[in-house]
Amino acid sequence: MTNLIDGKGIAAELRAKCAERVSNLILNGIVPKLAVIIVGDDPASHQYVNSRAADCKAVGMDSTVYELPSDTTQSELISLLEQINVDPKIHGILLQMPLPIHMNPDEVVVHISRDKDVDGLHPINIGMLGSGKPSFAPCTPSSIMQLIKSTGVPIRGKNAVVVGRSNVVGKPAAMLLLQENATVTICHSKTVDLKEHTMQADILVAAVGVPGLITGDMIKPGAIVIDAGINRVDGKTVGDVDFESAKEVAGAITPVPGGVGPVTRTILLMHTLDAAERINAGN
Site for ligand NDP, rule CB under 6 A: 140, 163-166, 168-170, 187-191, 194, 207-210, 213, 228-231, 260-261, 264
Nearest-angstrom CA–CA distance, 267 and 244: 28
Residue closest to ligand NDP, measured at CB: 166
Annotate 183-203 with three-state secondary structure: EEEEECCCCCCHHHHHCCCCE
Residue number, 25 or 250, with CB nearest to ligand NDP = 250
> Looking at beta carbons only, is 25 or 204 nearer to ligand NDP?
204
Alpha carbon 74 to chain centroid, angstroms: 25
Distance CA 47, CA 34 (A): 16
Strand residues in 170-244 grouped as ranges (E): 183-187, 203-206, 224-227, 231-233, 236-238
In the complex, what is the shortest distance from the CB of residue 55 to ligand NDP, in angstroms, rounded to a whole number?
13
- Smallest distance, Å, CB 227 to ligand NDP? 8
CB of 56 to ligand NDP, least distance (A): 17
> Is the Cβ of residue 25 or residue 197 nearer to ligand NDP in the bound state?
197
Least distance from ligand NDP to the Cβ atom of residue 168, Å: 5
Which CB atom, from 205 or from 275, has the smaller least distance to ligand NDP?
A: 205
Q: Please check whether residue 95 is in contact with residue 122, taking contact to mean a CB–CB distance below 8 angstroms.
A: no
Q: How far is the CB of 232 from ligand NDP (least distance, A)?
A: 9
Of the two residues 36 and 213, which places its CB atom closer to ligand NDP in the complex? 213
**Nearest residue to 227 via CA among 248, 244, 242, 249:** 242
In whole angstroms, the minimum distance from the beta carbon of 73 to ligand NDP comes to: 26
| Residue 121 buriedness (CB in 10 A; 0-12 / 13-18 / 19+) | buried
Task: Find all residues with CB under 8 Å of 143, minimum gap 6, and list them.
Answer: 7, 260, 263, 264, 266, 267
Q: Choose among 210, 125, 223: nearest CA to 175.
A: 125
Which CB atom, from 7 or from 251, has the smaller least distance to ligand NDP? 7
